[in-house]
Amino acid sequence: MSLQLISHSPDLKQLRDEGYEIEVKGGHLVVHQIPYVNGNGEIKFGKLISTLTLNNNITITPDNHVISFMGEHPCNKDGTIITGIQHGNPNQQLCDGIVMNYSFSNRPPNGYSDYHQKVSRYAEIISAPAKSIDPTLTAKTFKVVKDSEEDTMFNYIDTNSSRANIHLINSKFNNQRIGIIGLGGTGSYVLDFIAKTPVSEILLFDGDVFLQHNAFRSPGAPSTETLDAKLRKVDYYARVYSNMHKRIITHPVYVTKENIELLKGLSFVFICIDSNSARGIILSALKRMGIPFFDMGLGVNIAEDNLVGTVRVTVGTPSKTDHIPNRIGTVEIDDNEYSTNIQIADLNALNALFAVIKWKKLSGFYQDLKEEHHSTYSINTAQLINEDFTA
């Protein structure tokens, strides 16, 4: 993807054609072999690092004028720091092998029109003292950097992570295989959030058809033609989210005792179904397999002319499942309005969000100080209760 991006972006291609050693790594543009002078007056070589602003994997006007640098602080010939570009020294690791030691700021009156202008200007400023010592020094080595961009699960580069400098943290999701059982309102929102992470596979399980009522409690806005097609839910959502994520695998079946082994080898499972009997079969198998899971539920009822209810997320991990029998029932409940009330997409999304945030905590993406395994949110009191903490 790195070499394709460079070839298809005129400004990056110009940098490469002029001899700069460039590559795209972790959503950043990295320019190698920038000569500079350090505080001891010695000649060194560093790297310029810039976030990328892309549209359809082609560069557009840079969104800022700041650039980062890997190396010691560039200095003048006499070893004094080049103060005119000073900005910060975060010493932050951006991705494997790339550390942002310093950030520099040099803004033209109208900003930088493209990445060629941005990189060449900073290279000129930083390299000038070194070239005054040795005129043969240049950042234009004409060395082609091998495409080292990691295999990505996306069809286009995740520039959101690079803009926020969280690419390394985001990599904690790499190699995870996620299962989503049930693609109703809550399960579809779980998919929406997880499809934006670099998990290696997303497995979808649902034997139902995507119908008109589903459109009112799930992400997006399907056309009437899509509804007329009566696609399987797994096929409809795979078609949508495969535009972004490469590895969405469909299983157009309900999970039962007969096919429960399909869950083997998964890293995490999201259970988004409203059948307690089916839930019991799945939970028993996941506990046996040692697979962490998130069981979600909405309990919504009519109280006069209002809706009241609770949003629940119950978590099971290999180290803690003793709370499960007290939190998740196996008997069907008939007085829940959820099965007929379709105007609760916000609660579906909230339920999915609580579960996905907890998954990200267990993955080490977010800090988790409480380590709760059961959470409920009461709609009418806006009360969030966390319980069943890790001992």
Q: What is the tens place of the pLDDT at every residue in 240-251?
A: 999 999 999 999
Q: Are residues 184 and 284 in the same domain?
A: yes
DSSP 317: B
293-302, 341-350, 367-376: segment of lowest average pLDDT: 341-350
Q: Are residues 180 and 146 in the same domain?
A: no
Q: Are residues 144 and 220 in the same domain?
A: no
Q: Are residues 377 and 284 in the same domain?
A: yes
Q: Are residues 229 and 130 in the same domain?
A: no
CA angle (310 as vertex; 282, 263 as ends), nearest 5: 15
Domain limits for position 140: 2-152
The per-residue pLDDT for 304 is 85
Tokens of 335: 């007085």
The per-residue pLDDT for 148 is 58
**What distance in Å separates the CA atoms of residue 176 and residue 198, rounded to the nearest whole number?**
8
Facing residues of 204 across strands? 180, 250
Query: What's the mean pLDDT when you consider all of the chain?
Result: 92
Share of the chain above pLDDT 90, in %: 77
Q: Are residues 55 and 123 in the same domain?
A: yes
The per-residue pLDDT for 331 is 64
Tokens of 23: 């590559």
Q: Are residues 345 and 235 in the same domain?
A: yes
**What distance in Å separates the CA atoms of residue 310 and residue 316, rounded to the nearest whole number?**
20
Higher pLDDT, 334 or 211: 211
Q: Are residues 194 and 280 in the same domain?
A: yes
The per-residue pLDDT for 147 is 62
Give the number of domains in the chain.
2
**What distance in Å separates the CA atoms of residue 388 and residue 316, rounded to the nearest whole number?**
10
**Alpha-helix residue ranges (DSSP H) falling in 206-295:** 212-215, 224-229, 233-241, 276-289
Task: Give the predicted TM-score (pTM) of the model.
Answer: 0.84
State which of 100, 118, 152 marks the end of a domain.
152
**What distance in Å separates the CA atoms of residue 163 and residue 159, rounded to the nearest whole number?**
6
In a domain, 158, yes or no: no
Q: Are residues 112 and 226 in the same domain?
A: no
**Res. 204: pLDDT tops 90:** yes
In a domain, 168, yes or no: no
Please answer whether residues 269 and 286 qualify as being in contact, where contact means their C-beta atoms are separated by less than 8 angstroms: yes
**What distance in Å separates the CA atoms of residue 255 and residue 206, rounded to the nearest whole number?**
8
**Alpha-helix residue ranges (DSSP H) falling in 315-381:** 324-327, 345-362
In a domain, 167, yes or no: no
Q: Are residues 361 and 238 in the same domain?
A: yes
The per-residue pLDDT for 338 is 46
Q: Are residues 198 and 345 in the same domain?
A: yes
In a domain, 159, yes or no: no
Domain harbouring 288, CATH code: 3.40.50.720
**Res. 341: pLDDT tops 70:** no
In a domain, 129, yes or no: yes
Give the containing element (helix H, strand E) for 2: helix 2-8
State the pLDDT confidence band at 1, using cuts at 50, 70 and 90: low
In a domain, 169, yes or no: no
Q: Are residues 186 and 136 in the same domain?
A: no
State which of 117, 152, 187 marks the end of a domain.
152
Residue type, 283: L
In a domain, 161, yes or no: no
In a domain, 299, yes or no: yes
The per-residue pLDDT for 330 is 63
Cβ neighbour number for residue 349 with a 10 Å cutoff: 20
